[in-house]
């Protein structure tokens, strides 16, 4: 089992690092002595965040495999190796599945799923190469455990996929005795600007069904425990120090996961009758 208790001097890469959870993770890494590269598609916020937290900023489009590979190449050229990779970039617009266009689907899949695939493909060989303890963390969501979130069916689809990808990778790495660990981050309610993610969508066909609502303004959701992004950074680093494969920010939400597990268990029970 890979455990990383001290990140001092380690090289870390965080996608979606200019804001929200990515920036929170990056900030905590910098504060604890890591050498941090943040990658983001928005150049202005990227430059500002890099300067403010003391990281290196590299503009990257995670939907483009060549862009992610260029990020990996630049990190190795500058630092020689990489130890921690956080595939964190993501979007969360809303729509009923029945109303979505194929272009809507393509964009969400490109960012939330292909962005992770591109990160794993580009960085996993580099994490293995040096043989030192290393970790790859993919951001899913509580929506990767439970899909009952009105308007977020497509988002949940991608986050379930990231959950499966990461669990499979963690098993593979463990079986081969790799120096690399893999974990999936499943955050709940966090104060970030993911509610504004449509701002990053390239212009495309007319007729999109996607809208963007700020869930923090929902009176029911406003009663939940909301974390600051740097708090998520603390949770993530604590998870790496324990060698976790699942890192959750809101343990009090487990009853939702338990209810889903109970329904599945009941279905298996009925099938056995």
CB 86 within 8 A of CB 12: yes
Cβ-based neighbour number of residue 130 at 10 Å: 14
Assess contact for 118 and 136: CB atoms under 8 A. Answer: no
Q: Given the residues 86, 107, 135, 155, select the one marked as catalytic.
A: 155
Return the bridge partners of 138, or none: 87, 184
**What does the pLDDT read at residue 224?**
81
Q: What is the CB neighbour count within 10 angstroms for residue 117?
A: 17
User: Can you give the three-state secondary structure of 154-181, one letter per residue?
Assistant: HHHHHHHHHHHHHHHHHHHHHHCCCCEE
Residue 223 pLDDT: 78
Q: CA 86, CA 72: separation in Å to the nearest integer?
A: 12
Q: How far is CA 195 from CA 112, 190, 230, in A?
A: 15, 11, 18
Residue 156: its pLDDT value, please? 97
The verdict on whether 155 is a catalytic residue reads yes
CB 41 within 8 Å of CB 111: no
pLDDT tens string for the chain (273 positions)?
899 999 999 999 999 999 999 999 999 999 999 999 999 999 999 999 999 999 999 999 999 999 999 999 999 999 999 999 999 999 999 999 999 999 999 999 999 999 999 999 999 999 999 999 999 999 999 999 999 988 999 999 999 999 999 999 999 999 999 999 999 999 999 998 776 788 888 876 667 889 987 666 666 767 789 999 999 999 999 999 999 999 999 999 999 999 999 999 999 999 987
Query: Could you give the CA distance from residue 85 to residue 245 in angstroms, rounded to a whole number?
Result: 14
CATH number of 11-272: 3.40.50.720
Q: Is the pTM above the cut of 0.85?
A: yes
Q: Where are the domains of the chain?
A: 11-272
178 touches 121 (CB < 8 A): no
Helix (H, G, I), strand (E, B), or coil: what is residue 197?
helix
SS3 per residue for 107-125: HHHHHHHHHHHHHHHHHHH
Record the tokens describing residue 101, joined without a space. Answer: 């266009």
């Amino acid at each position: 089992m890979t455990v990383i208790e001290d990140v001092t001097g380690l090289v870390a890469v965080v996608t979606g690092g200019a804001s929200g959870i990515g920036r929170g993770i990056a900030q905590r890494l910098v504060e604890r002595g890591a050498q941090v590269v943040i990658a983001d598609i928005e150049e202005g916020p990227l430059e500002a965040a890099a300067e403010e937290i003391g990281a290196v900023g590299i503009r990257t489009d995670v939907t483009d495999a060549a862009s992610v590979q260029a990020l990996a190449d630049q990190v190795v050229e500058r630092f020689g190796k990489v130890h921690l990779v956080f595939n964190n970039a993501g979007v969360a617009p809303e729509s009923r599945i029945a109303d979505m266009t194929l272009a809507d689907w393509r964009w969400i899949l490109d960012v939330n799923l292909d962005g992770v695939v591109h990160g794993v493909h580009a960085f996993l060989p580099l994490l293995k190469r040096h043989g030192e303890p290393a970790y790859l963390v993919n951001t899913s969501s509580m929506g990767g455990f439970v899909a009952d979130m009105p308007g977020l069916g497509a988002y949940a689809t991608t986050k379930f996929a990231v959950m499966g990808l990461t669990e499979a990778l963690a098993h593979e790495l463990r079986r081969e005795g790799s120096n690399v660990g893999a974990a999936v981050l499943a955050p709940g309610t966090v104060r970030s600007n993911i509610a504004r993610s449509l701002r990053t969508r390239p212009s495309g066909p007319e007729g999109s069904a996607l809208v963007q609502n700020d869930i923090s303004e929902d009176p029911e959701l406003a009663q939940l425990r909301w974390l600051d992004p740097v708090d998520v950074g603390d949770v993530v680093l604590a998870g790496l120090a324990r060698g976790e494969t699942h890192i959750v920010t809101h343990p009090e939400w487990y009853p939702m996961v338990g209810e889903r597990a109970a329904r599945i268990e009941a279905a298996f029970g009925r099938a056995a009758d």
